[in-house]
């Protein structure tokens, strides 16, 4: 839908892209990240690799441990490429991240578009949203409206941090024989995780090194990080896909419910007088629904598995805020923010909505436990890392400039 008196989409899109690329260049100059030659080609090549590595299996497509309906997956491949094209990343985008985010954005857009949603959001709305990553260390994604286009930028450091968190927590699970005897399964019991953490120092060390590397070297990639064993790759992938999709869906929620509502493109459910906190809760509720719907439609996943990544993302963000606070004044309790409700309240909303939406009240609580296992495991790791980190801050080692040059 074009708005009378406004220029056509392409110059506006160009302006929004320039704005995002300017922000990326600015953060790259502080973090020292080098530029990429032809980033759009690199991102499309990643998308291509994903497609060529997939295996056809009758009416399905298999990618690693995951199995998708072939038609749905081909739709998602196409949409992923279209989103990369729409963004047309600049030299300071990380093309590898952009491809992963574009795939999650594609999942959200497809699930909310006709024919999967009825009436669904019309295609011209999506052409007014672009996504990207920056070197800025922050938990909340950055969003701005530029020339009528919503620019969403997620912290590349936060993506790394979520990945390393998924890895650390999956390695803290005790393997057990699966009930069907076919595949390996993991225990979600806290006492089993404690036993693993007592006998294997790696998950705690990985998580601590990830944080200290981010703080002192500017990027959360721990020197101790090694490739996870094959049996952990599927749960890690599930967590990271779910986390990225939830974080993006939250921002799409702001785009559709708040930023673009003046354009008359979408009828918003909230009122113009909502407080900042109400807007955050509305974006979380939107994200929860989008993750459930897109995971059911495109990933053949039940809600509690689809939302494990969302719960983990909330926990990583909560930990990030505590760490960020520790760097500034050494205390461990973030002050109450005027713009964002605390994460424990946001997690409580997700839990409440999950139980309310569940078709069977008898099993809702039990299924909810399944959704929360990863965030509880991560919390167990964090409880061990936290005192070590507090000691680290006592030494007063200087932080990397990305933390101090805001
Ligand atoms: Zn938000």
Q: Which tens digit of pLDDT belongs to each residue from 170-188?
A: 999 998 877 665 566 888 8
Distance 256 CA to ligand 1 centre (A): 12
pLDDT of residue 262: 56
CA-wise closest residue to 2 among 262, 298, 265, 247: 265
The reply to whether 4 falls in a domain is no
Neighbours of ion ligand 1 (CB under 5 A): 280, 283
Q: Are residues 217 and 343 in the same domain?
A: yes
Where a domain ends, among 94, 123, 155?
155
Q: Are residues 293 and 193 in the same domain?
A: yes
Confidence of residue 2 (pLDDT cuts 50, 70, 90): very low
Answer whether 70's CB lies under 8 Å from 11's CB.
no
Q: Are residues 68 and 173 in the same domain?
A: no
The pTM of this model reads 0.92
Strands in 178-282 per DSSP E: 184-187
Instruction: Assess whether pLDDT exceeds 60 at residue 315.
Output: yes
DSSP 213: H
The reply to whether 191 falls in a domain is yes
- Tell me how many helices (H) and strands (E) the chain has: 15, 8
Distance CA 65, CA 136 (A): 33
Which of 133-142, 198-207, 362-371, 391-400 comes out lowest in average pLDDT? 391-400
pLDDT of residue 77: 98
Rg of the chain, C-alpha, whole Å: 21
Distance 254 CA to ligand 1 centre (A): 7
Where a domain ends, among 137, 155, 173?
155
Q: Under the phi-then-psi rule, with left for phi > 0, alpha for psi from -120 to 50, and beta for the rest, what region is 222?
A: beta
CA-wise closest residue to 290 among 335, 336, 334, 257: 257
- Strands of 142-146's sheet in order across: 129-134, 149-155, 142-146
pLDDT (average), residues 298-326: 92
Where a domain ends, among 109, 125, 155?
155
Distance 273 CA to ligand 1 centre (A): 16
Condensed to tens digits (0 to 9), the pLDDT of residues 284-300 reads 999 999 999 999 999 99
pLDDT (average), residues 340-348: 88
pLDDT (average), residues 134-150: 90
Distance 5 CA to ligand 1 centre (A): 30
Distance 394 CA to ligand 1 centre (A): 32
Distance CA 287, CA 247 (A): 8
Q: Which of 41-55, 204-218, 380-394 is the most confident on average?
A: 41-55
The reply to whether 2 falls in a domain is no
Distance 202 CA to ligand 1 centre (A): 33
The percent of residues above 90 in pLDDT, for the chain, comes to: 66
pLDDT of residue 18: 97
Alpha carbons within 13 A on the beta-carbon side of 153: 28
Q: Are residues 122 and 228 in the same domain?
A: no
The reply to whether 302 falls in a domain is yes
Instruction: Assess whether pLDDT exceeds 90 at residue 13.
Output: yes
The reply to whether 355 falls in a domain is yes
Average pLDDT over all residues of the chain: 89
Q: Which domain holds residue 51?
A: 9-155
The reply to whether 54 falls in a domain is yes
Distance 255 CA to ligand 1 centre (A): 10
pLDDT of residue 19: 97
Q: How many domains does the chain contain in total? A: 2
Instruction: Assess whether pLDDT exceeds 90 at residue 266.
Output: no
Q: Are residues 142 and 31 in the same domain?
A: yes
Distance CA 378, CA 374 (A): 6
Distance 283 CA to ligand 1 centre (A): 6
Distance 284 CA to ligand 1 centre (A): 8
Q: Under the phi-then-psi rule, with left for phi > 0, alpha for psi from -120 to 50, and beta for the rest, what region is 200?
A: beta
Distance 282 CA to ligand 1 centre (A): 9
Distance 337 CA to ligand 1 centre (A): 12
Distance 155 CA to ligand 1 centre (A): 14
The reply to whether 3 falls in a domain is no
pLDDT of residue 325: 82
Distance 156 CA to ligand 1 centre (A): 17
pLDDT of residue 1: 45
pLDDT of residue 129: 96
């Amino acid at each position: 839908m074009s708005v009378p008196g406004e220029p056509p989409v392409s110059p506006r899109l160009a302006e929004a892209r320039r704005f995002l690329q300017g922000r990326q260049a600015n953060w790259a100059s502080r973090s020292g990240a080098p530029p990429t030659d032809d980033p759009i080609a690199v991102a499309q090549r990643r998308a291509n690799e994903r497609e060529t590595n997939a295996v056809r299996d009758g009416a399905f497509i298999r990618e690693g441990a995951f199995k998708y309906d072939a038609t749905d997956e081909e739709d998602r491949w196409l949409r992923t490429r279209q989103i990369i094209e729409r963004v047309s990343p600049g030299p300071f985008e990380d093309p590898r991240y952009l491809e992963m985010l574009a795939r999650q954005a594609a999942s959200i857009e497809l699930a909310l578009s006709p024919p999967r949603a009825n009436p669904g959001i019309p295609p011209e709305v999506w052409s007014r949203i672009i996504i990207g990553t920056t070197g800025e260390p922050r938990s909340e994604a950055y969003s701005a409206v530029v020339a009528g286009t919503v620019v969403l930028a997620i912290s590349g450091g936060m993506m790394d941090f979520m990945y390393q968190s998924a890895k650390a927590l999956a390695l803290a699970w005790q393997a057990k024989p699966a009930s069907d005897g076919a595949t390996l399964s993991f225990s979600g019991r806290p006492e089993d995780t404690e036993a693993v953490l007592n006998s294997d120092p790696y998950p705690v060390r990985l998580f601590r090194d990830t944080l200290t590397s981010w703080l002192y070297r500017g990027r959360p990639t721990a020197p101790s990080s090694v490739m996870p064993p094959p049996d952990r790759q599927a749960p890690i992938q599930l967590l990271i896909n779910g986390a990225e999709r939830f974080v993006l869906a939250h921002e799409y929620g702001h785009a559709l419910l708040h930023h673009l509502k003046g354009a008359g493109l979408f009828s918003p459910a909230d009122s113009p007088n909502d407080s900042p906190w109400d807007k955050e809760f509305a974006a979380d509720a939107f994200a929860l629904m989008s993750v459930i719907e897109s995971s059911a439609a495109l990933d053949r996943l039940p809600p509690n598995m689809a939302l494990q990544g969302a719960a983990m993302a909330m926990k990583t963000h909560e930990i990030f805020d505590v760490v960020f606070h520790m760097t500034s004044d050494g205390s461990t309790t973030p002050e109450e923010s005027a713009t964002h409700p605390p994460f424990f309240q946001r997690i409580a909303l997700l839990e409440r909505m999950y139980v309310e939406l569940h078709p069977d009240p008898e099993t809702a609580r039990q299924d909810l436990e399944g959704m929360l296992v990863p965030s509880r495991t991560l919390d167990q790791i964090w409880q061990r890392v936290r005192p070590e980190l507090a000691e680290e801050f006592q030494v007063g080692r200087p932080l990397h400039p990305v933390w101090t040059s805001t």
